[in-house]
Amino acid sequence: MRWLLLSLALQNLGRRKARSLLLIAAVALGSGVVFTGAVLMQSIDRSMAVGFTRLGADMMVVPEGSLTNITASLLVVEPGELVLDADVLAKARLTSLGRIAAQKIVRVEHSGIGSHHESADLIGFEPERDFTVQPWLVEKINRPLQAGDVILGAVRDGVLGSQLLIFGKPHVVYGRLGRTGVGTHERGVFMSFATLDALGEAIGGHGAKPAVLAPGKVSGFLAELSPGATPLQARFAILSNVKGVKVVAGDTTLSGIRQGLAALLDGILALMVLMFASMALMVSVLFSAIVTERRAELGLLKAIGARRGQVLGVMVTEAVLATGIGGIVGVVLGVLVMRLFERSLVYYLENVGVPFLWVDLPRMVAFAAGAIVLASVIGVLGVLYPAWAASRRDAYDLVRSGA
Amino acid sequence: MLSCRSLRKSYVSERGEVLAVDGIDLDVEAGRYAAIIGRSGSGKSSLMAMVGGLSRPSDGSVVIDGTDIWGLSDDKLAAFRNRRLGFVFQFASLLPTLRLVDNVALPALLGKRGDADIYGKAATLLARMGLGDHLDAYPSECSAGEQRRAAIARALINDPVLLLADEPTSDLDEQTEIEIMDELLAVNRELGTTLVLVTHNLALAEQAGQIVHIAGGTIAS
C-alpha cells in the first residue's frame, strides 16, 4: 500500500510537470540559499575568529608614562619599568571591553638567546586568555602549551621540539610564530606567566628582580571592544574608572570592520529567515491550490474507504517528495556554488594571505541534511492545513465540488 | 437490509437554506434491486450520498445490515464504506495516474485486507467485466464504457453487501448504457448483492424490484 501511495504521489507530480518543476526549483533555490548561507556564514565566522584575531587587539592599556611604539597591529605590550596590578581592569568591570589579555615583558641581555650581547624580549602571556600570540602560530608541537615551553617570534631560529637554554635553564621550543611586521612580536620569546616567573631569579641576577615579575603585576593589557562599543566609549570608561593608566587605541578601521562584518552576518541571517518564511508561505499557497484541484480525487479516495489519515498521507507524501527533491537539488546547487566560490574569492583571499577556513565535513553534511529536512518540513507544513481541511469534508461534497 | 428513517438534508447557499431531502423513510430488502428515480434536483443523489455514508444527514438515520452508519466515528465509517459498500459514480471516477488493475485493487489495499492475492482478484474482476487484456492500461487509454466497467470491478473488490450506483450511465451512449446495466444486474442476480440505482431514465428502472420516485426531496410514490 505504501508503495502504491508513493507511486500515486510520484505520478501526480509527473502529471503536472511544469508546476512540479517550478515548485522543485523554488524549493531548491530556497534550500540552496539556506545551505550555502549556513556553510559560508559558519566558515566566515571561523575565518573571522582567526583572521580578525590576527589583526590584533582594539586597545592596549599600559601604565601611565610608559613609552609605546604605535604599530599597525596591537599584538604585544612594550618593555618598560612601569607595571600595573593584574586585576586592575577586572575590578573596574568595564562593559565596553570584551576579551582582555594581560602580558608581562622583560628585556634581557646575556640570556643565551641569540648572540652574546643581543637583547631579547621575554614575553609572558596567559594561554587561555591570549588572542594575539597563539593565532600567529605557524607550527607547533601537537599538545597544549605547558610549563617550560617557549614560542619563538618569526625572526628567531629554533627547531620545533629542540631545547633552548635561557639563563642556563632548559626550555622546549613549542612553536614558531609567523611574520607580523611588529618588531617586538617578531623578535620575542613567548612563554606562560609561570615559565617567565620561574626565570625571575636568573633574570634578576645579583640585583633585584624586575618589578613586572612580582606576583600580581603585569606590563599591560591587550583588549577587544564589546560588540557595539566604540573606541571612544571604551577609552572614556577606562580612564574614568582606572587610575594611572594610558590607553592606546589601535586602528579604528579594523575595529569597525570587525564589528561591521559581525553585524552584516546577523543581517544575512535575518534575510535568510525571511526568505525561508516567504518560501514556506508560497509552498502553502501552492499546495492549497493543488488540494483544491484534487478535491474530486480525494473525495473518491474517501468514498472507497480511505481514512482521514490516509487522505492526509497521500498529500503529505506528495509534498515531502516534491520539497525533499527540491532540498536535495538545492544542496547540490549549493555545493556547486561553493566550489565556484572556492575557486574565485577564497583562492584570491588565500593568495593575499587572508585565511579562509571551511567548516569541517561532518558539520557540512549536517547542514546539508538539515537543509533537506527543512525543505521537507516546509512541504509538510504547506500541505498540512489544506489537506487536513479537505479530509474533514464529506466525501460527497469533495466529489461534487471537484467533479 | 437497508433502512432509512426521517432522512433530511439541507444545504446553506447564498440564497439561504436549501432543503434537498425532506424526511424520507426507505427500506430495501437484502439482494434486491431498487431504483430511485426522479428529475434533476429532486434530491435523489443527496439521498444516495447519505445512504452511502458519503454525506452526513442533517437529521435521521441510515441502518445497513444492522449498523447505524451515521453513529460511527469517521474512521469506522470509512472502514464500513470500504468493506460493506460499493460505489459506481456518474462520472469517470478512476484515478488517472493508476493502471486499471491498481484502481480496482485500491479499496482492498486501503482496507489492509489480509487477502494476499488482491491483485489476482482484481484481475479476475476485470476479466469478468471483459477487461482482462486491459490490466495495465491507464484510464486515459480506455473508453468511457471500459472505465465504467472498471469502476464496477473496483466496487466489487471487497465483496460489498450493498452496491450503490449514482446515474452510472448518464454520459454513455445507448449501447454502452445497456452493457453497463447488464453488468450491474448480473452482479445483483449472480452475487446476490443488493443494488440501489439512482437514475432519471425510467427505462432503466423498469427491471427493478422496487422503484422509489423522489420529487421535491420527498417520496412521491
**A310 alpha-carbon distance from chain centroid:** 45
Query: Grid coordinates in use for A29?
Result: 533555490
Closest-CA distance, A22 to chain B, in angstroms, reads 20
Query: Grid coordinates in use for A326?
Result: 527540491
Closest-CA distance, A383 to chain B, in angstroms, reads 20
Query: Grid coordinates in use for A133?
Result: 600570540
- Give the C-alpha separation, B9 to B28, whole Å: 20
**A385 alpha-carbon distance from chain centroid:** 38
Closest-CA distance, A305 to chain B, in angstroms, reads 4
pLDDT above 70 (res A71)? no
CB atoms A394 and B56 under 8 Å: yes
Strand pairing partners for B215? B218
- Give the C-alpha separation, A104 to A84, whole Å: 10
Instruction: For residue B87, give the nearest of A14, A304, A310 by CB distance.
Output: A304
Residue B216 neighbours by CB distance under 10 Å:
14
pLDDT above 60 (res A72)? no
Query: Grid coordinates in use for A7?
Result: 507511486
Closest-CA distance, A395 to chain B, in angstroms, reads 5
The SS3 of residue B12 is strand
Instruction: For residue A305, give the nearest of B49, B89, B107 by CB distance.
Output: B107
Closest-CA distance, A296 to chain B, in angstroms, reads 9
Residue B137 neighbours by CB distance under 10 Å:
17
End-to-end CA distance of chain A: 26
Query: How many structural domains are present in chain B?
Result: 1
DSSP A61: E
Residues of chain A neighbouring B56 (CB-CB closer than 8 A): 394
Q: What sign does the dihedral B206-B207-B211-B216 (CA atoms) show? A: negative
Please tell me which residue of chain A has the smallest CA distance to B102.
A4
Instruction: For residue B78, give the nearest of A11, A297, A302 by CB distance.
Output: A302
Residues of chain A neighbouring B53 (CB-CB closer than 8 A): 395
Q: Supply the mean pLDDT for chain B.
A: 89
**Structural domain boundaries enclosing B165:** 32-54+73-219
CB atoms A4 and B106 under 8 Å: yes
CB atoms B82 and A304 under 8 Å: yes
> Chain B residues within 8 A (CB-CB) of chain A?
49, 52-56, 74-75, 78-79, 81-83, 87, 89, 91, 93, 95-98, 102, 106-107, 109-112, 154, 158
Instruction: For residue A1, give the nearest of B89, B98, B112 by CB distance.
Output: B112
B98-149 per-position pLDDT tens digit: 899 999 999 998 887 665 688 999 999 999 999 999 999 999 999 988 999 9
CB atoms B81 and A303 under 8 Å: yes
pLDDT at position B141 = 94
Burial of B61 per CB tally in 10 Å (0-12, 13-18, 19+): middle
| Residue-range domain boundaries for chain A | 2-53+258-402, 58-249
A303-320 per-position pLDDT tens digit: 999 999 888 988 898 899
CB atoms B82 and A310 under 8 Å: no
B203 falls within a domain = yes
> Which of the residue ranges A64-68, A255-259, B178-182 would you say has the lowest mean pLDDT?
A255-259
Bigger pLDDT: A265 vs B46: B46
With a pLDDT cut of 90, the percent of chain A lying above it is: 24
pLDDT above 70 (res A263)? yes
Q: What sign does the dihedral B20-B26-B30-B36 (CA atoms) show? A: negative
> Chain A residues within 8 A (CB-CB) of chain B?
1, 4, 7-8, 11-12, 14-15, 297, 300-310, 394-397, 399, 403
pLDDT bracket for residue A352 (50, 70, 90): low
- Give the C-alpha separation, B92 to B85, whole Å: 19
The SS3 of residue A68 is coil
- Give the C-alpha separation, A104 to A85, whole Å: 11
Q: Read out DSSP for B113-172?
A: -S-TTHHHHHHHHHHHTT-TT-TT--GGGS-HHHHHHHHHHHHHTT--SEEEEESTTTTS
Instruction: For residue A8, give the nearest of B87, B93, B95 by CB distance.
Output: B95
CB atoms A307 and B95 under 8 Å: no
B97 falls within a domain = yes
pLDDT above 60 (res A403)? no
Residues of chain A neighbouring B52 (CB-CB closer than 8 A): 303, 396
| pLDDT mean over B28-48 | 91
Instruction: For residue A303, give the nearest of B87, B91, B98 by CB distance.
Output: B87
Closest-CA distance, B215 to chain A, in angstroms, reads 21
Query: Which residues does A97 contact at the CB level (< 8 Å), separation at least 6?
Result: A59, A89, A223, A224, A225, A226, A229, A234, A237, A238
Q: Which residue has the cell 596567559?
A: A126
CB atoms B107 and A304 under 8 Å: yes
pLDDT at position A252 = 59
pLDDT bracket for residue A2 (50, 70, 90): low
pLDDT above 70 (res A246)? yes
* Residue to test with chain A: of B106, B118, B158, B163, most A Cβ within 10 A: B106
B10 falls within a domain = no
Please tell me which residue of chain A has the smallest CA distance to B156.
A304
Closest-CA distance, B15 to chain A, in angstroms, reads 18
Residue B105 neighbours by CB distance under 10 Å:
26
Please tell me which residue of chain A has the smallest CA distance to B104.
A304
pLDDT at position A70 = 65
Please tell me which residue of chain B has the smallest CA distance to A10.
B97
DSSP B77: H
Which backbone phi and psi does A111 adopt, to 5 degrees? -90, -15
Please tell me which residue of chain B has the smallest CA distance to A296.
B93
Burial of A165 per CB tally in 10 Å (0-12, 13-18, 19+): exposed
B85 falls within a domain = yes
> Where do runs of H (alpha helix) occur along chain B?
44-51, 74-84, 100-110, 118-128, 144-156, 174-186, 202-205
Q: Supply the mean pLDDT for chain A.
A: 85
B48-102 per-position pLDDT tens digit: 999 999 999 999 999 999 999 999 999 999 999 999 999 998 876 898 888 999 9
Residue A388 neighbours by CB distance under 10 Å:
15
> Smallest Cα–Cα separation from A230: which of A250, A207, A200?
A250
Strand pairing partners for A171? A164
Instruction: For residue B78, give the nearest of A4, A305, A397 by CB distance.
Output: A305
> Where do runs of H (alpha helix) occur along A342-360?
347-351
Closest-CA distance, A285 to chain B, in angstroms, reads 24
Bigger pLDDT: A47 vs B144: B144
Closest-CA distance, B190 to chain A, in angstroms, reads 23
With a pLDDT cut of 70, the percent of chain B lying above it is: 98
